[in-house]
Amino acid sequence: MCHIHNIIMKKLLLSIMMILVITMISVPTFADDNNDGNERDNNDGNERDNNDGNERDNVDSNVTPAPELIPQPTLQGSIDVKLDKISYTNGDVLSYSGIVINGEPGVDVSVTLSAPNGDLITIDQLPVGLDNTFSSSFTTGGALWVNNGSYTILVQSGTLQNTVEFQFTDVVTVPLITSNIINIFTDNSTYISSDLVTISVNAANNANVAINVSDFTGNNIVTRTITTDDAGNGSIQFKLSTSAKNGTYIVDATAIVSGVDVSNSITFLVNSTVTKINIVSLSPVDQMGNPVSSFTIGKLSFAKVILDSVESTPSLVTVNLFDSQLTSLGIGSFKTVLNPGQSEMSLSFFIPNDAKLGNMNIYANVFSDWPSQGGVPLTGESSTSVILQ
């Protein structure tokens, strides 16, 4: 009985074990599938992430970023000007200097000086040094410095400019005249043909003064109006004709001052004698009249004179030679009546053997006669030089 019971129990245990084995074989391996899927998903994701990251890194590392634009500052140009003083009087030397900052290369500096009333006194042009500096000077005072006050220096270089001012005093001026008086002046008492004549007046300030100039025959040659400035001064200029005759000329001035007619007159002399002759040229020449640059010692030499005469004029033409030691080598002369227009004449000289070699001078003169006989010069002296060899 017991034996049978044992057999039954063994069979029962064997059946249970078989069921368990079958059950284990039949259960799906979901854990393995999930692991495989997760690994594949993770691998795919990591590869994609890594690839995307590497691609982005590679793209970022290969692209050169655009340079950042840094705005450049604009260089401002200027001119700095300085004076040695701030005020000056007649005859002072005014020194100025300056520097051109960021100017145009190679452009000179122009300097303009103006009076208090705006009148132009002078213009100068200066080169700019390698260090961009410039300097110069001028003497104050003169005919154009007619007012006390503030004078202006304008300095320009290309498009750059600057101004500096200074005070000028001690200008010699004629006192203001408000009475019914007209003072008249000429710059000379005697003139010759073709001379420039300056007539100045001093009257009431801002007055209109009529000026009339007539020759000794009563022929009017100039009629003008002068308007005086704030100081009562004014002037005009005119040129005498080449045919102006000798004689006394009259300058009449008239004006109305404070409702009163005022007038004055002066005279000047014209002596046309000295303007009848003009030495056009003086030159060393050969015997044929051709220009030469040298004379030879111990030989004959020639000098040609070309004269211009306004009218028929008795004249004495002289030519004087001097060697390099200022020793006179002789005088050549020609006495004639020069006809109107140009005349040409040649004078000959023998150069002595004891003349000093080197640069020698030739002088030409025209007289009315020999000075020892009362002759006077008819024109100024003309000169030239030549080599003596």
d(CA 181, CA 203): 6
* pLDDT value, residue 59: 45
Please give the C-alpha separations between residue 331 and each of 120, 348, 366, in angstroms, as whole numbers: 50, 9, 13
Q: Which helix (H) or strand (E) holds 309?
A: strand 300-309
d(CA 41, CA 44): 5
Distance of CA 308 to the CA centre of its chain: 38
* pLDDT value, residue 200: 95
With cut-offs at 50, 70 and 90, classify the pLDDT of residue 70: low
Both structure tokens of 243: 């045919």
Exposed e or buried b per residue across 290-309, where buried means at least 16 C-beta atoms within 10 angstroms of its C-beta? eeeeebeeeeebbbbbbbbb
Class for the domain spanning 276-388:
mainly beta
Both structure tokens of 174: 């004629």
pLDDT at 220 over 70: yes
* pLDDT value, residue 226: 95
User: In CATH, what number does 78-169 get?
Assistant: 2.60.40.1930
- pTM score, whole prediction: 0.34
Q: What is the pLDDT of residues 168-204, one digit of tens each?
A: 987 544 444 455 789 999 999 989 888 999 999 999 8
Q: What are the extents of the domains in the chain?
A: 78-169, 183-273, 276-388
Please give the C-alpha separations between residue 60 and each of 46, 52, 55, 64, 69, in angstroms, as whole numbers: 20, 12, 8, 8, 21
User: Is the domain defined by 183-273 classed in CATH 2.60.40.1930?
Assistant: yes
Q: What is the pLDDT of residues 74-115, one digit of tens each?
A: 567 899 999 999 899 888 999 999 999 998 888 999 999 999
Half-sphere exposure of 277 (CA within 13 A, CB side): 31
> Is 276-388 in the same CATH topology as 78-169?
yes
Both structure tokens of 327: 């020793």
Please give the C-alpha separations between residue 58 and each of 54, 64, 65, 66, 267, in angstroms, as whole numbers: 6, 12, 14, 17, 107
